[in-house]
Amino acid sequence: MHRKNRMRDSEKQKRKFYIASVFITGLFVLLGYRSFELQVLQSEKFSAGAKKQHSRVYRMPPVRGTLFDRNKKPLATSVWATSIYLNPKEVKNPDKLARTISKPLGLSRNKLISLTRSDKPFVWIKRGEDPVTAKKIEAMGLSGVGFAEEPKRIYPNGSLLGQTIGFTNIDLKGVEGLEYGFEKMLAGKPATVRIRTDGRGNSISDVLLNAKEQSTKGSDVLLTVDSNIQHMTETALEKGIKEMKADRGAALLMNPQTGEILSMASYPFFNPNRFGEFSQKTRKNLPVWMSFEPGSTLKVFLAATLLEEKMGDENTEYDCENGKKRIGPKVIKDVHGHGILTVSETITYSSNICAWKMGETLGKKKLHDSLRNFGFGETVGVDLPGEATGRMQSLRDWGDIELATISFGQGISVTAIQLATALSSIGNGGYLMKPYIVKKIVSPEGKVLMERSPESVKRVISYDTASKVTRILEQVVENGTGKNASIPGYRVAGKTGTAQMPNPQTGTYYENRYLSSFIGFAPADDPRLALVVIVENPREHNYGGVVAAPIFKSITEKVLFYMQIPPDKEKLEKMVMPDMVNKSARAVMKWAEKEEVSVRFIGNGYVVSQHPPSGKKIRRGTDCTFILKQNI
């Protein structure tokens, strides 16, 4: 009995031993396989994980492409600068570090100390630092402080073309203007760099200095703008706005034959090198962004429509009601009362009442459709961000009052680039050209990625109509409201504009706030320049002929000389006889010497009459007679 029990116990022990042996063997096999799997089959996965735990990836900005003017003068470019960073866990004495570098870097001690407390293995202290300052700090040998080369965007001409160019942020991303609009082409490819750290987060390698070689430069963008013409435009615009004590203004100059933009200015100016110092309002590119009521400049396109539709000609007459006419509850007034005026005289003397009657002749649909055809009420499609459409009511909302006010440029809003584009169609013989500012884009390897050529959108009026309107606009400058835009030796065509500014709070117009403007092109017989000038809220005067026309003259006169466009010899020999009444004999002699004319005086004192009369064309050497009398 006992023997049988011992045999059973022995067999149980053997089974237990066998089971334990199988379990232990299986466990070793399982562990061995797991080890094989980890070390061989999944080695790359876990190696990458370990690498990720002990390293950090950073994207370093590339060198952006350069923005050039049409003559390859850089307007926005990049330079290599030194940026300073920190590995907080390597800093041994945060207080000492803050005391040492706060002053040369212009940073507060509190900010620097807060950076040393960061859990990150890498934080920027200051980017784009002056190389001299950076070298001084590097020489101090401060623990935890590192240095990296990265590109910095600079604008070598300061505020020149500032709003149009726009700017980039600290990470070299385009924020506004061309920098934003052409971000993909300018940006280039960033460098991806990895900083290795030990288990405590301390840096054990520094590859930021090699980022320079790893990035790919962006493409260069060549503009149609001429920086010399841009400077002339900005100088004259600033001078005129300051003299008139106005709030702001804009100017846009383009080639009416091609649509190329030669200059584009907004005042007050904006310096993209210091973009943080300027308000959002100042950063706006006014020629494409700002909508305004055009006032009498819109009469140019009213006249063009009347002539194109053959519903009148230059000599068709209208009664201007001596300067006052009621339309329903609204009274339309002219600055100076007139009786009967022709279409040409209506534009020359800028009668609102006769303009309304021209609008009535056309009717609502014809005028509405024509203004749409000239491009008002929609973007012109210029290659710049932020273009406004302006505002033109749909035809169904036009009543009798809307027809009247829109005929003389109120109740409709436009942009400077719309006006310049529409005006160019008058100057070039009837074609609406697509305006553009980017001429060419070139890759870092020199490959031309894009090149623009002049593009005619459509014909809007006939050559005959364009010629007739041009002659009318020449009369505006020679004998009408635009005399201050006259340039000796050149045929100039233009139109003044003075519009009350709408008050958005009341829905009516300000009593004493105006937008003054002048649009024109030269030489009138073969236009090379079409210029729009707008001045908002001038306080010294408000008429476009007094405020904006002199700015137009200053810019156009200088640009004609710069572009070596010769004066008309016949025009140069002729001049307009000025009004010398109430002038002294000395003043008359001074004028005569300057203009090389002969004078004869009858009597003494001040001029009471003259021959030839004022406004008559005369030549050098003309004999002029002045009758003088003493003032009593």
Instruction: Show the tokens assigned to 622.
Output: 């003309």
How far apart, in whole angstroms, are the C-alpha atoms of residue 258 and residue 224? 11
Cα gap 530→254, rounded to integer Å: 5
* Tokens describing residue 436: 């553009």
Among all chains, which residue has been given the structure tokens 């005042």?
267
H or E element in which residue 536 lies: strand 529-536
For the stretch 159-195, pLDDT in tens is 999 999 999 998 889 999 999 999 999 998 877 665 5
Q: How far apart are CA 311 and CA 136, in angstroms?
A: 79
* Domains identified in the chain and CATH numbers: 57-223 (3.90.1310.10), 227-270+285-571 (3.40.710.10), 577-629 (3.30.10.20)
**Residue 266 annotated as catalytic:** no
The pLDDT, as a whole number, for residue 488 is: 87
- Distance from C-alpha of 288 to C-alpha of 379, rounded to nearest angstrom: 9
CB 527 within 8 A of CB 512: no
CA distance 158 to 151: 18
- Note if the pTM is more than 0.85: no
CB 260 within 8 A of CB 254: yes
pLDDT at position 553 is 96
- Marked catalytic residue, from 203, 296, 351, 407: 296
Among the residues of 380-415, which ranges form H helices? 400-407
Q: H-helix or E-strand containing 345?
A: helix 343-349
Residue spans of the chain under pLDDT 70: 1-59, 192-215, 632
* H or E, element range at 223: strand 220-223
Phi/psi-derived region of residue 49, left when phi > 0, alpha when psi is between -120 and 50, beta in every other case: alpha
Question: pLDDT per residue over 573-605, tens digit each?
Answer: 777 888 999 999 999 999 898 888 999 999 999
d(CA 168, CA 172): 5
Q: Please give the pLDDT value at position 53.
A: 44
C-alpha to C-alpha distances, 317 to 296, 345, 359, nearest whole angstrom: 19, 9, 13
pLDDT for 225 = 98
Q: Is residue 383 within 8 Å of 181, Cβ to Cβ? A: yes
Task: Name the residue type at position 324.
Answer: K
CA distance 445 to 146: 33
CA distance 379 to 421: 11
Return the half-sphere exposure (C-beta side, CA atoms, 13 A cut-off) of residue 28: 5
* Rounded-to-integer distance, Cα 115 and Cα 126, Å: 11
Task: Please give the Cα distance from 336 to 339 (Å, whole number).
Answer: 10
Q: Residue 126: its pLDDT value, please?
A: 83
